[in-house]
Structure 1
Amino acid sequence: MIDWTYSEGVYELTLAAPPCNEIGTGMLAGLRRFLDQVDPAAHTLIVRSGLRQGFCAGADLRELHRGLSDAPRDQHGPQLRQFIDAIHGVMDDLDMLPLTTVGVVHGICFGGGFELALTCDVLIAEKTARFCFPELRLGIIPGFGGIPRLRRDVGNGLIRDLLLSGRSINAKRAQAAGLVSQVVASGEGLTAARALAAQTGKFDPTARKAAKAFIKKLPKDELLAERELFVRLAEGPALLAALQRFVESTDLRPYLP
């Protein structure tokens, strides 16, 4: 589901789980394995997708539907909490890595995939990139830390529009809002990320780590509040009904708004 290479202080982590890098237990385990072996001498992590469709479509809704459908109703809450706690552990560790993390986004970057991208220090978007929080369509809110991390980076106007409308924004608008640092042509994202990594590697490690720690804090209280609200909403009937519609959809890309 994921692969990575390491050379001269730079990790390149590639998401490669068809159809569009949905985040379930398999992807979560792969990310945890990566985090557990990161060399502290590294200076940069580049996160990208190896799939044509995009960066990541979000949570693995089919896996979530199977898990909730097979479990007794009174087990839905504990099951959801176990998964959400695990995913927050991975997202928080990615967020706070003592490396410069660069996300390269093309195509779809929705829901949990958007939340994964928001753990990165710098986002480079190819012109095809689109960002979206469609969770209200499922009767839930983003649950992987998305809103607290987005509030750290951009203004409330954009956040409310994304969350309450469920609409997507393109790379140009994302850059104008301060979410994305660079917009590049299709296929040029990795080149731009490697150029940034080469620059990062020139800095003193102590200064680089101190600068990141100073400018990027983990919004712990908001993340905890989000987890509690997500689990409470997810225990309701709306989520299971929406998941049933999703798995029964004949649309080739049912995750699109």
Structure 2
Amino acid sequence: MNEFDNLLLDIDSTGILTITINRPDKLNALNGDTIEELRTAIQQVYDDPTIKGVILTGSGEKAFVAGADISELAQLTEVNGRKFSERGQEVFALFENCHKPTIAAVNGFALGGGCEIAMACHMRIATQNARFGQPEVNLGIIPGYGGTQRLTQLIGKGKAMELMMTGDMIGADEAKALGLVNHVVAGREELTAKCQELMQKITSKGPLAIGMVVDCVNGVFNPQVKGYQAEANAFGSCCRTADFKEGTAAFLEKRKPHFSGE
């Protein structure tokens, strides 16, 4: 594992990697260095077969990620602002398109870039004190790391418009009711337990099939992908795998499957 200045990485005995954004004095705000460290960390997930899934969280009790580093934002021009946005979109897409499950464990504030990277993960689990929002209009800008797209996908156009145009924050229960959050738990201890529970359930399934689910679901929002054909192609690909043969055999033999990822 690489050494990082702004991230803490910990992998458990089951292959679940926890990435903790560790800038508590800045409420874990995302500066350029942290974005690049996130790129390196998630790339390791793609490259290392021993890593089975990712839990992304923030250090401390106050914030998951409270947004971008405003001191950096204030220096942006039109040209480097576009590059700034494109770089963040590229890194967050690595979380969204990863064939291994990515879960955001949201404690405290998930604002701006924090809400955006949480939305890039496949699922979001939040504590009762979590707060979500895209308050960029308060700074005279808009979400630039995919927020205009993913928030609309997750909660619908009308409510997404409202939240992004007002800059309002919402609590964990409202976020769950809107479909932004999968589960709400009491506190940090329960947050870790719920994420681990979900991870263990997902990673017990056929890993190739999990990756194809990611591709097909994400394809719904890609105008270049013909969704039903992509699903049929992926289904056919599954049928030639050793995992498919093992899964069906295990069902018929009334035993648990042992998937190899092949």
Corresponding letter in the other structure for 1:15: I
Alignment check: 8 A CA contact 2:98 2:214 kept:
no
- Point out where structure 1 has 5 or more consecutive residues left out of the alignment: 69-75, 222-257
Corresponding letter in the other structure for 2:7: I
Q: RMSD over aligned Cα, in angstroms?
A: 1.6
- The TM-score, its normalising length taken from structure 1, stands at 0.78
1:5 to 10, 15, 18: 10
1:42 to 39, 48, 51: 51
Alignment of 1:210 with 2:217, yes or no, is no
In the TM superposition, what are the counterparts of 1:64-143 in structure 2 within 5 Å? 64-65=73-74, 67-68=75-76, 76-143=77-144
Query: How much does 1:209 deviate?
Result: 1.1
- The TM-score, its normalising length taken from structure 2, stands at 0.77
Query: How much does 1:132 deviate?
Result: 0.9
Alignment check: 8 A CA contact 2:63 2:108 kept:
yes
Alignment check: 8 A CA contact 1:130 1:169 kept:
yes
Cα deviation 1:179-225 (Å, max 9, x = unaligned): 1111100212111101111111210111111122222238467xxxx
Alpha carbons of 1:172 and 1:2: their partners in 2 closer, same or farther (altered >3 Å)? same
Cα deviation 1:60-86 (Å, max 9, x = unaligned): 111222x34xxxxxxx22222222221
Aligned-pair identity in percent equals 31
Query: How much does 1:42 deviate?
Result: 2.9
Counterpart position of 1:144? 145
1:14 to 14, 20, 28: 20
Alignment check: 8 A CA contact 1:102 1:120 kept:
yes
1:199 to 198, 201, 206: 201
2:120 aligns to what SS in structure 1? coil
In the TM superposition, what are the counterparts of 1:50-69 in structure 2 within 5 Å? 50-65=59-74, 67-68=75-76
Greater C-alpha radius of gyration: 2
Cα deviation 1:161-196 (Å, max 9, x = unaligned): 211221111000111111111110021211110111
2:144 aligns to what SS in structure 1? coil
How far apart are the structure 1 equivalents of 2:219 and 2:143? 20
2:26 aligns to what SS in structure 1? coil
Alignment check: 8 A CA contact 1:10 1:46 kept:
yes
How far apart are the structure 2 equivalents of 1:78 and 1:100? 34
Alpha carbons of 1:61 and 1:170: their partners in 2 closer, same or farther (altered >3 Å)? same
Pick 1 or 2: higher relative contact order, CA cutoff 8 A, min separation 6. 1
Cα deviation 1:125-183 (Å, max 9, x = unaligned): 10001111111111111111012112222222321221122111100011111111111
